[in-house]
Structure 1
Amino acid sequence: MKVTIDNITIDVEPGTTIMNAARQIGPHIAPPAMCYYEPLKASGGKCRGCLVKVTAGSEKDPRPMPKLVPSCITQVQDGMIVENTINEQVLETRKGIVEFLLLNHPLDCPVCDQAGECHLQDFSFEHGVSKTRTVEERNTFEPVDLGPYIKLNMNRCILCYRCVYTADQITDGRVHGVMHRGDHAEISTYIEKAIDNDFSGNVIDVCPVGALTDKTYRFKSRVWFSKPEDASCSCGKCSGKVTLWYRGDEVIRVTARKNEWGEVKEFICNTCRFERKKTSDWTLEGPTKIARNSVISANKYGASTIKPAFPLQQAAEQYKKIDDSRDRSFLAPQKQLN
């Protein structure tokens, strides 16, 4: 099927969603995803962050769809025309989506372990506004220990359901879910049960914000101060393919490997994640590939770092050039350094 997204036409297989079609073009065209997670079945359609405008439904029926549609659950039709980054209605709507997601979200970035690799930070930076219009008090919750390894900060949760789908699809018995409805909805466990199974730590990796964090890593280091290395081991429970995060020679945390969309393709067990914190436990495969525009890459590339285009463009548009044509003879001569 042929689909055109932001004036770029590509061929995709029948059944492909608009989101995955856009991802085939590249990150600059792909809509943001806060709840959609390709490896998890039935994910998507919750946050509405990926809304796009379909200006032509198909070649047979070129009428536009009357409302914006979620790209993560809408399949393409032959001849469909979609507008994402070039549509003002889409961009304006995303500002509202960010505002709703931040309605009860606290300003925990200075103390949150997810800072630097938080999808909500990226989403709000790209599409949000600097001011808030709300004056009401925010919903607040006390932090909860979900077993020996996981801490739940419900204040930061955006109810994306990723952790619920993960527990449903890769573990034998899910003991947590979304309780209550409306503005009272929250992630919680059944009758205060702890999340305790061999793959429970994967709910940390799939969480797009800092609601579910690793208790063995909390407050140890900022992500941009650590060095990620791909490693593997012979594990009888999982694939054993992980990312080791180093601070000096110390392994401060272990996570599953993620692709360019921040999604885990091969989930790992708790033994690999929490109990193997020595380099001798692993076979190192080399540095993890990190996008140059990610804060994780800070101070990793030295002089070869490519300057991002956005701040240079912003400076050119909003600041005047310095006039150096003035007479400088009145300036005192500077001392020569030895």
Structure 2
Amino acid sequence: MSAQPVNPNLPPDHVTVFIDGVELAAPKGSMIIHAADKAGIPIPRFCYHDKLSIAANCRMCLVDTEVGGRSAPKPSPACATPVMDGLKVFTRNEKALKAQRNVMEFLLINHPLDCPICDQGGECELQDLSLGYGRSVSRFVERKRVVADEDMGPLVATEMTRCIQCTRCVRFTAEVAGTYELGGMQRGENLQIGTYDGKPLTTELSGNVIDVCPVGALTNKVFRFRARPWELIAKESLGFHDALGSNLFLHLRRGDVMRAVPRDNEAVNECWLSDRDRYSHQGLYADDRAVRPLLRVASNGDDGDWREATWDEALARAAQILRDNGADNLGVLVHPATSNEEGALLARLAEGLGTGNLDHRIAQRDLSDGAVAEAFALPVAEIEQADTIVIVGSNLRHEVPLLHQRVRKAFTRGAKVHVVGPVDFEFTFDIASKALVAPSAIAGALGSAELAGAVRGSDRVVVIVGAVAENGPHAAGIRRAAADFAAAHGASLCRIPQGANALGLARHGVLPAARDAGAMLAEPRSAYVLYGIEPGLDFADQAAALKALGGAQVVAFSHFACQSTRRVADVILPIATLFENDATLTNLDGRDQRAFAAGKLPGEARQGWTVLRALAGELGLPGFEFTDLAGLRAGLVARTPSLPRAGDAPVAAAAAGTGDGLELAVSQAIYRVDGLVRRAQALQAHPLNVGPRVTLHPDDARAAGLATGAMAKVSTGAGTATLQVHLSEAVAAGCAWVESGHGATAALGAGRVRVEAA
């Protein structure tokens, strides 16, 4: 073979290969299958996945190769054979096809012939390839082996007799999820894939093993036996339970949402989907879904008495409440996952009614610096290229699972990760340094010499500020300290928006010209508009919220007619969730993304923008003259929020860091973040959903005379909760950690808590 390159005009890091007679340029070190895929030349495979390491154990991708006129003595696996200059590859000659057909015959030796009852039927890679490479009759007459199934939890169903040991699921849990929960047990013909200990999968990304499985061994337990793939219609939508805005498809049958699957977008979620986004659609069909307009007729008991009404009646009642309580007497509170279209109309509604009391930052306690959501300074797809990452006040794995996965990718490339916060949250990567401090000390820890020394000399530093910091009573000081730290070290500041569309709502004017969310509740108004909010669980200070709302007239645009909504509302107007809505959301990168209405609306529920338009018509307000969604969108104008940016305003030292008792640290429970997720039964059964409890440092528990499993009264100035005690050295001394989103913890406010035996 000549030492001269076949094509001297190629870059020095590329070589020339010929696949089925097609001349291609391929990077040195890449594999044959990479070059073939780029050129659109099909090569069958099972174990290969472009997001996972190469295993080369299924051998389905065997091809014939030739170098310098000499053919290789045996077929080569395309996924594990690197390209070289002048390499000739034959994917369809007699030698390659014979090898591929022989491999298929071996794969089918033990595979059960249960395609008619297999939930993967119709979208099974083995089924598809066996049509082209399989024999019509098997030459093997031995008894097929049977593998016992194990329960992998409420999300993933198993039929491990179908497994072909491709190890995609094993590599996913090890390399992407980072939990190392699946593996191969025994050897040879006895090899089995499983968890070994028989426990459910605990990764927050477990549903992705369904997508990577090429056969029906791992399937969607929630979707199982409910529909066949060819019965389904796919609609583009978005995940709206965190600010990433994962791209997904909703699969429908007769208008009912059957399942969600990832939609590839390398800049956002790659080809993955968090379990929260994959299974939350179950909540669409909860028993307390709002399906008809409701009017309160009496206030007997907590819920009052209600009757169903026509839309005309409900809108007339809502309009009368707003007429009677306009201007400064009215407060408008908006859920931070509300779409841009609905948010813009709510801003017009507030302006038309003469009120500046409008806000979407309902879960944030400290807005003294006028902070609003801002786009990440570094796109999320580039975070994996960082060499130093500082995570501030965030249970990142639960808060934004696929952002956590990007940080893990950075770690595997050699990045150092440092953590500052009140709890040593569980990550799937090693932590270079930890500063476990009370929430009131986070800002000071960011200015420490230790942390400054740890990041010094790094070329690409990223600071990620999460919900524990953003939603706490010391948020303004932490934001200022994070901005100062980023400026001092040339770091990219990435504050996670607190809500799926917090950034979009800020850009479309859903911000106060007068009172913010906290002030509206601390200084009660005579009437409120609630949009997409579950009043008993979504506010930062539930006690203040329920007190203020309980003494006012309330118009609730709601997805659910839940107990807390019935308790405070006078009118309930049923509206669509994002899965049933044509809408636009703005994700944490500042990227506008569109979702399309998928599921059919239940009962008489309507898309929110149509209800707002009808209500404005009842009120005779200007700015609602459009007749369709296109007309509405044509009038949308994003703007820069007029409130001061985080870190611009001087911030007074928070007083909650002093006093008696323990300091309260609050994080979001992963499967209690909003009304839809709370009603998804499969997610509520997931092992990560640990339920309401208070976690204490062992020294603090000992001082209070408490042990693991004991019941304790946890009291703040806002209220008292009775919670089970859990002990962990992962909690900073002097802190009590609870998760929000539970009714049992909703009574607690912020600041200092007293913990004593119940």
> Same fold, TM exceeding 0.5?
yes
Matches within 5 A, 1:108-127: 108-127=114-133
> C-alpha offsets along residues 265-303 of structure 1, whole Å, 9 cap, x if unaligned?
331111101123447234564699xxxxxxxxxxxxxxx
Partner Cα separation in structure 1 for residue 223 and residue 76 of structure 2:
39
**Which residue does the alignment assign to 2:192?**
186
* 1:163 maps to 2:169: yes
> Secondary structure at the residue paired with 1:265?
coil
Q: Is the 8 A contact 1:99 1:132 kept in 2?
A: yes
* 1:36 maps to 2:48: yes
Partner Cα separation in structure 1 for residue 237 and residue 253 of structure 2:
16
Match of 2:27 among 10, 13, 38: 13
* 1:47 maps to 2:58: yes
Match of 1:267 among 269, 272, 275: 272
Q: Is the 8 A contact 1:17 1:71 kept in 2?
A: yes
* 1:281 maps to 2:288: no
Matches within 5 A, 1:1-338: 1-26=15-40, 29-40=41-52, 42-56=53-67, 61-85=68-92, 87-236=93-242, 239-257=245-263, 265-277=270-282, 278=284, 280-282=577-579, 283=583, 285=595
Q: Kindly provide the amino acid, as one letter, of the partner of residue 279 in structure 2.
A: F
> C-alpha offsets along residues 223-252 of structure 1, whole Å, 9 cap, x if unaligned?
000011221134438652111100111110
Q: Is the 8 A contact 1:237 1:269 kept in 2?
A: no
> Secondary structure at the residue paired with 1:190?
coil
Following superposition, the deviation at residue 194 of structure 1 comes to: 1.1
Q: Kindly provide the amino acid, as one letter, of the partner of residue 51 in structure 2.
A: P
**TM, length-normalised to structure 2:** 0.35
Bigger shift: 104-113 or 250-259?
250-259
> Secondary structure at the residue paired with 1:187?
strand
CA separation of 1:275/1:188 partners in 2, compared to 1, >3 Å: closer, same or farther? same
Which is helix-richer, 1 or 2? 2
Following superposition, the deviation at residue 22 of structure 1 comes to: 1.0
**TM, length-normalised to structure 1:** 0.77
Q: Is the 8 A contact 2:170 2:182 kept in 1?
A: yes
Partner Cα separation in structure 1 for residue 140 and residue 245 of structure 2:
46
Partner Cα separation in structure 1 for residue 115 and residue 264 of structure 2:
22
CA separation of 1:191/1:25 partners in 2, compared to 1, >3 Å: closer, same or farther? same
**Which residue does the alignment assign to 2:365?**
none
Partner Cα separation in structure 1 for residue 70 and residue 101 of structure 2:
27
Q: Kindly provide the amino acid, as one letter, of the partner of residue 104 in structure 1.
A: N
Superposed CA RMSD: 2.1
**Which residue does the alignment assign to 2:468?**
none
Q: Kindly provide the amino acid, as one letter, of the partner of residue 274 in structure 2.
A: C
Q: Kindly provide the amino acid, as one letter, of the partner of residue 210 in structure 2.
A: I
> Secondary structure at the residue paired with 2:106?
helix
**Which residue does the alignment assign to 1:322?**
none
> C-alpha offsets along residues 67-94 of structure 1, whole Å, 9 cap, x if unaligned?
1100011111111111111x10111111
> Secondary structure at the residue paired with 2:101?
helix
CA separation of 1:287/1:124 partners in 2, compared to 1, >3 Å: closer, same or farther? farther
> Secondary structure at the residue paired with 1:43?
coil
Partner Cα separation in structure 2 for residue 191 and residue 118 of structure 1:
28
Partner Cα separation in structure 1 for residue 597 and residue 27 of structure 2:
34
CA separation of 1:97/1:286 partners in 2, compared to 1, >3 Å: closer, same or farther? farther
> C-alpha offsets along residues 131-154 of structure 1, whole Å, 9 cap, x if unaligned?
001111111123332111111111
> Secondary structure at the residue paired with 2:173?
helix
Partner Cα separation in structure 2 for residue 98 and residue 238 of structure 1:
40
**Which residue does the alignment assign to 1:293?**
none
Q: Is the 8 A contact 2:185 2:196 kept in 1?
A: no
Partner Cα separation in structure 1 for residue 271 and residue 124 of structure 2:
20
Partner Cα separation in structure 2 for residue 10 and residue 244 of structure 1:
37
Q: Is the 8 A contact 2:578 2:595 kept in 1?
A: no
Q: Is the 8 A contact 2:63 2:89 kept in 1?
A: yes
Partner Cα separation in structure 2 for residue 160 and residue 249 of structure 1:
35
Point out where structure 1 has 5 or more consecutive residues left out of the alignment.
Answer: 289-338
Q: Kindly provide the amino acid, as one letter, of the partner of residue 25 in structure 2.
A: D
Q: Kindly provide the amino acid, as one letter, of the partner of residue 197 in structure 1.
A: T
Q: Kindly provide the amino acid, as one letter, of the partner of residue 131 in structure 2.
A: F
**Which residue does the alignment assign to 1:317?**
none
Q: Is the 8 A contact 1:153 1:211 kept in 2?
A: yes
Q: Is the 8 A contact 2:170 2:181 kept in 1?
A: no
> Secondary structure at the residue paired with 1:31?
coil
Partner Cα separation in structure 2 for residue 75 and residue 237 of structure 1:
40
Partner Cα separation in structure 2 for residue 286 and residue 80 of structure 1:
47
CA separation of 1:94/1:169 partners in 2, compared to 1, >3 Å: closer, same or farther? same
> C-alpha offsets along residues 143-199 of structure 1, whole Å, 9 cap, x if unaligned?
332111111111100000000111012224222211100111111113211112211
Partner Cα separation in structure 2 for residue 48 and residue 91 of structure 1:
12
> Secondary structure at the residue paired with 1:53?
strand
CA separation of 1:81/1:253 partners in 2, compared to 1, >3 Å: closer, same or farther? same
Partner Cα separation in structure 2 for residue 44 and residue 228 of structure 1:
32
Q: Is the 8 A contact 2:153 2:201 kept in 1?
A: yes
> Secondary structure at the residue paired with 1:191?
coil
CA separation of 1:50/1:258 partners in 2, compared to 1, >3 Å: closer, same or farther? farther
Q: Kindly provide the amino acid, as one letter, of the partner of residue 50 in structure 1.
A: C
Q: Is the 8 A contact 1:242 1:256 kept in 2?
A: yes
Following superposition, the deviation at residue 129 of structure 1 comes to: 0.9
Q: Kindly provide the amino acid, as one letter, of the partner of residue 224 in structure 1.
A: W
Q: Kindly provide the amino acid, as one letter, of the partner of residue 33 in structure 1.
A: R
Partner Cα separation in structure 2 for residue 7 and residue 285 of structure 1:
43
Identity %: 37
Partner Cα separation in structure 1 for residue 245 and residue 205 of structure 2:
12
> Secondary structure at the residue paired with 1:123?
helix
Instruction: Give 1 or 2 for the bigger CA radius of gyration.
Output: 2
